[in-house]
Structure 1
Amino acid sequence: MTQVPSNPDAVRAAPCAGLRIGDPAPDFSARSTAGDIRLSDFRGRWLVLFSHPADFTPVCTTEFVALARAAGDFARRDCALMALSVDSLFSHFAWLRMIRDRFDVEVRFPIVEDPTLVIGRAYGMVAPQDNDSGTVRTTFFIDPEGVVRAMTCYPANVGRSTPEMLRTLDALQAVDAGSVLAPANWEPGDDLLQQPSALLDDVFAAPGQTDWFLTQASPGKPK
Structure 2
Amino acid sequence: MGFNLGDEFPNFSAKTTAGDIKFHDWIGKDGWAILFSHPADFTPVCTTELGMVNKMVEKFKALNVKLIALSCDDVDSHSKWTEDILAFTKDSKFDFPIIADPKRDLAVQFGMLDPVEKDSKGLPLTCRAVFIVGPDYKLKLSMLYPATAGRNFDEIFRVVESLQLTAYKKVATPANWKSGDDCMVIPSVKKEELATLFPAGVETKTLPSGKEYLRFTPDPSKPAKK
Runs of 5+ in structure 1 lacking a partner?
A: 1-14, 200-205
Partner of 1:120: 107
**3-state secondary structure, aligned to 1:188:** coil
2:40/2:126 contact within 8 Å kept: no
- The aligned runs of 1:1-223 (5 Å cut-off) are 15=1, 18-41=2-25, 42-43=27-28, 44-105=30-91, 106-126=93-113, 132-134=123-125, 136-196=127-187, 208-209=206-207, 212-222=212-222
Structure 2, unaligned runs of 5 or more: 191-203
Q: Counterpart of 1:36 in 2: which secondary structure? A: strand
1:99 and 1:67 map into 2 onto residues whose CA distance is 11
- Alpha-carbon distance change, 178 to 157 in structure 1, aligned in 2, over 3 angstroms: same
Task: Give the superposed CA RMSD.
Answer: 2.3
Report the Cα offset of residue 101 of structure 1.
Answer: 2.9
Q: Is the 8 A contact 1:86 1:133 kept in 2?
A: no
Alpha-carbon shift at residue 127 of structure 1 (Å): 7.2
| Residue identity matched to 1:187 | K
In the TM superposition, residue 62 of structure 1 has moved relative to its aligned partner by: 0.2
Offset, 1:61: 0.1
Contact 1:135 1:155 in 2 (8 A): no
The sequence identity of aligned pairs, in percent, is: 35
Moved more, 133-142 or 78-87: 133-142
Of residues 39-48 and 72-81 in structure 1, the stretch that sits farther from structure 2 once superposed is 39-48
Q: 1:207 to 1:104 in 2, by over 3 A?
A: closer
Deviation at 1:217, TM superposition (A): 2.3
Deviation of the 1:98 alpha carbon: 1.8
Residues 197 and 75 (structure 1 numbering): CA distance in 2 closer, same or farther, change over 3 Å?
closer
Which structure shows the higher strand fraction?
2
Distance 1:137 1:191, change over 3 A: same
2:150 aligned counterpart, secondary structure? coil
| 3-state SS in 2 of match to 1:183 | coil
Aligned-partner residue type, residue 99 of structure 2:
V
CA separation in 1, counterparts of 2:87 and 2:219?
43
How does the TM-score come out when normalised to structure 2?
0.81
Q: For the residues of structure 2 that align with 1:35 and 1:207, how far apart are their CA atoms?
A: 53
What amino acid does structure 2 have at the position aligned with 1:108? D
CA distance in 2, matches of 1:190, 1:183: 9
State the distance in 2 between where 1:59 and 1:47 align.
Answer: 22
> Is residue 48–residue 80 contact of structure 1 (8 Å, CA) maintained in 2?
yes
TM-score (norm. length: structure 1): 0.82
Runs of 4+ in 1 over 3 A off after TM superposition: 130-133
Within 1, Cα distance between the matches of 2:75 and 2:141? 28
What is the identity, as a one-letter code, of the residue corresponding to 1:110?
Answer: P
